[in-house]
Amino acid sequence: MSEQGIQASTVAPLIDEAARALEARVIAWRRDLHQNPELGNREFRTAGIVADHLRKLGLDEVRTGVAHTGVVGLLKGALPGPVVALRADMDALPVTEQVDVPFASKVKAMWNGEEAGVMHACGHDCHVAILMGVAEILAGLRAQLRGSVKFIFQPAEETPPEGEEGGAKLMIEQGALENPVPGAIFGLHVTSRQNVGTIGWRAGPTMASSDRFRITVQGKQTHGAAPWLGVDPIVTSAQIVLGLQTIVSRGMDIAKEPAVVTVGTIKGGVRENIIPDEVQMTGTIRSFDEGMRDDIHERVKSLAEAIAHGSRACCDVRLRKGYPVTVNDPKLTEAMVPTLERVAGAGNAILVPKVTGAEDFSFYQRIVPGFFFFIGVTPQGQDPAKAFANHSPKFFVDEAGLLLGMRALAHVACDWLEGRR
Ligand SMILES: [Zn+2]
Ligand SMILES: [Zn+2]
């Protein structure tokens, strides 16, 4: 595969030298961001730090306030060439930190009407620090840089607060991928599923689409001792829950792509001997193929309605599409894997399984070819399978992984820019 791949850029040794020199500052930035996390659409301080940094580096353009708090910077190289985009997400989660580090977050904020602890439990602090580092490396190489680099610092990847718009979709709507239009976009995510020193990658469908549903089953209230006088929404809901489990197991070609239908909440009734009027259920749908995704949606609705009808109940099914499938462009991935292998060293760029989590990086990939890969942050010698996962209050980042993230993103950008000559 490496023979077909893009060769190392002419600036490759300079990137490595600059990255090593920057490592301590990137870690310091990450700790500062970690101690001062901000929720989606509220990344005011973070965005301010990013914008100041990009301006100090002398970028040709720095746009702020994109999709609320997003920052888009443009660096024009001295040599003519194409445009590449690099993306980092900036938001933290409503999670109360339980990691024992001196820079642990003690921040609290309001989230959907309730006070919550705030923590960078998904590692977006690392993504911001890494991309700030990459911007500094590439700004220092401007005289040798072929083409332009767009730096996209995006808010609200973890979904915006209720009732607000935000994230990658809104960044695109507000022009993040225009003027100039990039020919490719790259992004990374730190993960506890891998050890420090490794890069995980996959071509094609890589992370799942994520959609929500809400099913309201309307019955007819009656005494629990006389069910024949009403319509029981609890028994009907139980049948719907089991029915929904047949959609994937009996209806989907799981040899093609996997899928998941989960009912996560079910609420109804107030007392053991009263059959209630109504039961509400919510759940999530994950898939790796847009056709299967639409098929599952149709089946959730028709099956729930048919079961309810057969039970003489009524049923209202609301489906809400979230993030699309994160699809790594196969050609772009194939071209860039040799770069990751070179940067990580022999055997350290590893093909990883699909992830049923979702990413709004997928919205960018619908517009330009994109490649999203994973950087290990579980300490070497520890079993990643036993590490606390991203989103856990105990999610731990070994900062030794940040240097590889910074080098990977900078090399991928420069190799791609020069490979397009
Ligand atoms: Zn996350
Ligand atoms: Zn994340």
Rounded to the nearest angstrom, the distance between the alpha carbon of 336 and the centre of ligand 1 is 25
Mean pLDDT rounded to a whole number for the chain: 96
Q: Which ligand is nearest to the CA of 357?
A: 1
Return the pLDDT at 190: 98
Nearest to 4 by CA among 256, 257, 332, 327: 332
The terminus-to-terminus CA distance of the chain in angstroms comes to 20
- DSSP 8-class letter at 263: E
Rounded to the nearest angstrom, the distance between the alpha carbon of 196 and the centre of ligand 2 is 17
Q: How far apart are CA 99 and CA 276, in angstroms?
A: 44
How would residue 420 be classed by pLDDT, with cut points 50, 70 and 90? low
Which of the following is catalytic: 43, 158, 341, 399?
399
Percent of the chain at pLDDT > 70 equals 98
Percent of the chain at pLDDT > 90 equals 96
Phi/psi at 24 (5° precision): -65, -40
Which of the following is catalytic: 323, 341, 364, 418?
323
Place of tokens 């520890």: 382
Rounded to the nearest angstrom, the distance between the alpha carbon of 348 and the centre of ligand 1 is 24
Asked if the model's pLDDT at residue 5 lies above 90, the reply is: no
Q: What is the pLDDT of residues 111-170, one digit of tens each?
A: 888 999 999 999 999 999 999 999 999 999 999 999 999 999 999 999 999 999 999 999
Rounded to the nearest angstrom, the distance between the alpha carbon of 53 and the centre of ligand 1 is 25
Contact (CB, 8 A) for 185 and 370 = yes
Contact (CB, 8 A) for 283 and 216 = no
The mean pLDDT of 237-248, rounded to a whole number, is 98
Catalytic, 399? Answer: yes
Rounded to the nearest angstrom, the distance between the alpha carbon of 91 and the centre of ligand 1 is 9
Return the pLDDT at 83: 98
Rounded to the nearest angstrom, the distance between the alpha carbon of 122 and the centre of ligand 1 is 5
Q: Which ligand is nearest to the CA of 372?
A: 2
Nearest to 300 by CA among 315, 278, 280, 279: 315
Phi/psi at 385 (5° precision): -65, -25
Both tokens of 404, joined, read: 């590889």
Rounded to the nearest angstrom, the distance between the alpha carbon of 264 and the centre of ligand 2 is 21
Q: What is the pLDDT of residues 253-311, one digit of tens each?
A: 999 999 999 999 999 999 999 999 999 999 999 999 999 999 999 999 999 999 999 99
Q: What is the pLDDT of residues 169-215, one digit of tens each?
A: 999 999 999 999 999 999 999 999 999 999 999 999 999 999 999 99
Return the pLDDT at 3: 42
Rounded to the nearest angstrom, the distance between the alpha carbon of 326 and the centre of ligand 2 is 13
Element containing residue 116 per DSSP (H, E) = strand 114-117
Q: Which ligand is nearest to the CA of 389?
A: 1
Rounded to the nearest angstrom, the distance between the alpha carbon of 151 and the centre of ligand 1 is 20
Return the pLDDT at 112: 84
For ligand 1, a single-atom ion, which residues have Cβ within 5 Å?
122
Q: Which ligand is nearest to the CA of 88?
A: 2
Upper half-sphere CA count for residue 313 (Cβ side, 13 Å): 33
Q: How far apart are CA 268 and CA 217, in angstroms?
A: 10
Nearest to 191 by CA among 355, 413, 27, 364: 355
User: Looking only at Cα atoms, what is the longest distance across the chain?
Assistant: 83
Q: Which ligand is nearest to the CA of 392?
A: 1
Rounded to the nearest angstrom, the distance between the alpha carbon of 247 and the centre of ligand 2 is 29
Asked if the model's pLDDT at residue 331 lies above 90, the reply is: yes
Q: Which ligand is nearest to the CA of 89?
A: 2
* Residue 385: Cβ-neighbour burial (10 angstroms; 0-12, 13-18, 19+): exposed
Element containing residue 324 per DSSP (H, E) = none
Catalytic, 158? Answer: no
Rounded to the nearest angstrom, the distance between the alpha carbon of 307 and the centre of ligand 2 is 37
Rounded to the nearest angstrom, the distance between the alpha carbon of 199 and the centre of ligand 1 is 18
Q: What is the pLDDT of residues 370-391, one digit of tens each?
A: 999 999 999 999 999 999 999 9
